[in-house]
Amino acid sequence: MIETRYLTKVYKDLVALDKLSLTIDQGDIYGFIGPNGAGKTTTIRILATLLRPTSGQAFVCGYSVNGQAKHIRRKIGYVPDEFGVYEDMSVTEYLEFFASLYEITGKDRKRVIRDVLELTDLSYKKTAEVDSLSRGMRQRLALARVLIHDPDVLLLDEPASGLDPRARIEIRELLKELRNMGKTILISSHILSELSELCNKVGIIESGKLLFTGTVTEILSKVRSNEIALVQVREAPERAAAALLEHDLVIRAEVLADREGWIEVEVDKGADDVSFVTRLLIERSFAVLSIREQEIDLEEAFMQVTKGQVA
């Protein structure tokens, strides 16, 4: 559905995108991650046919951004990071205006507007003035707007930026519903914990260069070399840590000073699992209260992959 090949955008001496190549398949929810100035918004604007690339190619639904913008715009819904206020317009009037641009008329227009208001949970606000809505409601209205013509691809630039926790949850649940409807979604965001729940693929970009693209599982495996287990013993955690270090598969066993009785155990990735840690401690007469594997998250992976640079 989306493909870029050596996509490059240069502003005088600034390289905003540097030979970006990625592929997003139909039905993918692709999380586009990177620090401010990394090139995320530039990429999305090129895919939305609002910017021309300096070189390289980009295709959306099989159409090229170079020369086939009209076809692409029929296939996409683009939500920028800032929502323009339309003064003196109600929510329904706002949606009717955009429906008219897509030449949706009569009963079809009323049906479509009713459906998108219901999907975005804005039916009770249909007569409200657009500029009276909260930021969270405006973001939902922006999504309602781009769904009017039933696009195949959604390009969402920081849709949860600046929202309070409740509004972020509402947007996240709406995006899950759109995923279930089979939409292909490219979403940039700084809220990495939510991307890991939403996305089946992610791309990490920094200084205009794509550092990683693949599934969430692949990136977590890439940045973790060994398994980490957290184990709690009833007493003598120092002696328990020393006992663990005698095992060939234990690389590190460190008592956590701020957590009573807990030991962080680094296990060689060649181990089938960390269950041997419990067995070893029990054999040495230590009372094991709890054990669990420490999972790496997308935020930690992002910090390891990137260097904090911008284009």
Give the integer Cα–Cα distance in Å for 274 and 261: 18
**Cβ proximity of 288 and 272 under 8 Å:** no
Question: Using an 8 Å Cβ cutoff, are 211 and 306 in contact?
Answer: yes
Identity of the amino acid at 18? D
Q: Which two tokens stand for residue 258?
A: 């701020």
β-pair partners for 31: 187, 202
Dihedrals phi, psi of 128, to nearest 5 degrees: -70, 150
Q: What mean pLDDT is reported for the chain?
A: 88
pLDDT for position 254: 92
Nearest to 204 by CA among 58, 60, 304: 304
Instruction: Kindly state the tokens that stand for 193.
Output: 């914990």
CA distance 132 to 130: 5
Domains assigned to the chain: 2-222 (3.40.50.300), 226-295 (3.30.70.100)
How far is Cα 174 from Cα 41, in angstroms, rounded to an integer? Answer: 22
Beta pairing class for 153-157 and 184-188? parallel
pLDDT at 262: 94
Q: What is the pLDDT of residue 310?
A: 47
Distance CA 131, CA 140 (A): 13
- Which two three-digit tokens encode residue 18? 């540097």
Backbone angles phi, psi at 51, to 5 degrees: -130, 145
Q: Which pLDDT score is estimated for 38?
A: 87
Cβ burial 113-135 (10 Å sphere, 16+ → b, else e)? beebbebbebeebeeebbeebee
How many CA atoms lie within 13 Å of 141's alpha carbon, on the beta-carbon side? 30
Query: What integer pLDDT is reported at residue 53 of this predicted model?
Result: 95
HEC states along the chain?
CEEEEEEEEEECCEEEEEEEEEEECCCCEEEEECCCCCCHHHHHHHHCCCCCCCEEEEEECCEECCCCHHHHHHHEEEECCCCCCCCCCEHHHHHHHHHHHCCCCHHHHHHHHHHHHHHCCCHHHCCCEHHHCCHHHHHHHHHHHHHCCCCCEEEEECCCCCCCHHHHHHHHHHHHHHHHCCCEEEEECCCHHHHHHHCCEEEEEECCEEEEEEEHHHHHHHHCCCEEEEEEECCCHHHHHHHHCCCCCEEEEEECCCCCCEEEEEECCCCCCCHHHHHHHHHCCCCEEEEEECCCCHHHHHHHHCCCCCC
For residue 219, the model assigns a pLDDT of 74
Residues of the chain scoring pLDDT < 50: 310-311
pLDDT for res 302: 67
